Structure 1
Amino acid sequence: MRVFSRIEMWCRRQAAAAILPLLLVGWLTGESSEALTTFGKSNTQPPKEVGPTAPPARPCSRQAECAGISSSSCVRTHYDAITRCLCGDNLPPVNGQCEAQTKALYHVCANSDECNDGLICLTPNITGSAPSHLRVHSPQEKICLCDTENGYREREHTCNDADILKTSMFAVIIVSMLRKIITN
């Protein structure tokens, strides 16, 4: 009888160890409930209607070209090679207005409180060798830049992956805690 309970317990742990990573991945991607309810089923639902997409923001070559759109900046993002008049969240303005409360990399700012975490409001060092996406600003304009004093570095039009690193560390801690619970 004792051997059977050990084998049964071992099987349960193995099953939990196999299912747990799938649930964790699903939870981290936000698709867990749908993945669990649709596994092995054929798709019988009609295709979802796609609503109209917002037109892209207007291209710009100087910050002054975005002056008519409140709280927008002439910036380039990692997903677009063209500088455009974008809101602080790098989305196009809606009806000439921006609703973003904070600003991402390269957006015009008055102080660091306006910038996202990991960014500070500084006057960029714009020289002849500066990238073209920085030359859209006048030499006296302040923009949100990576906070290098606190370890943030610019890479591909974003600051280092501090948010991804924080999320990854959180996931490692959760998995470690779950593993301890399962083994006990």
Structure 2
Amino acid sequence: MCRSQVALLILPLILAWLTRDSSEALSTFGVSNTRPPSPSPTTPPARPCSRQADCAGISSSSCVRTHYDTATRCLCGDNTTPLNGQCDSVAKSLYHVCSNSDECNEGLICGAPNVTTASPPHMKVFSPQDKICLCDSDNGFKEKDHTCSDADILKTSMLAVLVVIGIRKAIQSGY
């Protein structure tokens, strides 16, 4: 199979990927989108907390701080606000209380928090007996800005860039 055939096979896939979920943003050439934006529902903020026990009345919630809020709040495992005192999320994000690693999202393990006098305020809501979802440092996950980062994401991004550059060069060279 020559380069031009490979480029012809891959090009529609890339175009489909680039245009997916953007049908709202794209319009017919020369015609503007005149529909008003739909109002976004506003959810009241979750209950503030200063320790894990403050969230005891809300099932499956944890007293956590997220990157988008400076206060610690009783949030569901996916960092959403509980609805009617209930959480529907199954997997838990960083800092959520857990009993085993199966409850935590990928890249997280269930372990005891390192709470000392020098710990950041969002960690002082836990007691040393609590177990929470933490970044799995043994498998290369590191905490940064209240999330766990993985070197594989960077590798995947670089691979995607290289594939696009290769396809572009194949197209420019006349297939």
TM-score category, normalised to shorter length:
0.7 to 0.9
Tell me what 1:44 maps to. 34
- Which 10-residue stretch deviates more, 165-174 or 78-87? 165-174
The percent of aligned pairs where both chains have the same amino acid is 64
Query: TM-score, normalised to structure 1's length?
Result: 0.75
RMSD after superposition: 3.2
Q: Residues 75-124 of structure 1, C-alpha deviation per residue, up to 9 Å, x if partnerless?
A: 00011111000000000001111011100000000000000000000001
Q: How many pairs are equivalent? A: 165
Greater relative contact order (Cα 8 A, min sep 6): structure 1 or 2? Answer: 2
Bigger share in helix = 1
Partner residue of 1:6?
A: none
Query: Structure 1 residue 148 and structure 2 residue 137: aligned?
Result: yes
Aligned partner of 2:104 among 97, 115, 135: 115
Contact 2:27 2:33 in 1 (8 A): no
SS in 2 for 1:133: helix
Taking a change above 3 Å as real, the CA distance of residues 163 and 68 of structure 1, as seen in their structure-2 partners, is farther
Q: Partners in 2 of 1:166 and 1:141 — Cα distance?
A: 35
User: TM-score, structure 2 length as denominator?
Assistant: 0.79
Residue matched to 2:85: 96
Deviations 1:57-83 (A, max 9, x none): 111000000010000000000111110
Aligned match for 2:120, one of 128, 131, 134: 131
Unaligned runs of 5+ in 2: none
Tell whether the 8 Å contact from 2:141 to 2:149 is kept in structure 1 after alignment. yes
User: What is the match of residue 82 of structure 1?
Assistant: 71
Q: Measured at CA, do residues 80 and 38 of structure 1 come closer, stay the same or move farther in structure 2, by a change above 3 Å?
A: farther
Where do residues 47-66 of structure 1 align in structure 2 (5 Å cutoff)? 47-50=36-39, 52-66=41-55
Q: Map Cα deviations across residues 118-173 of structure 1 (whole Å, 9 max, x no partner).
A: 00000011111011101101111000000001110000111115685476256347
Runs of 5+ consecutive residues of structure 1 not aligned to the other structure: 1-8
Displacement over 2 Å in runs of 4+: 19-27, 33-40, 42-45, 161-184
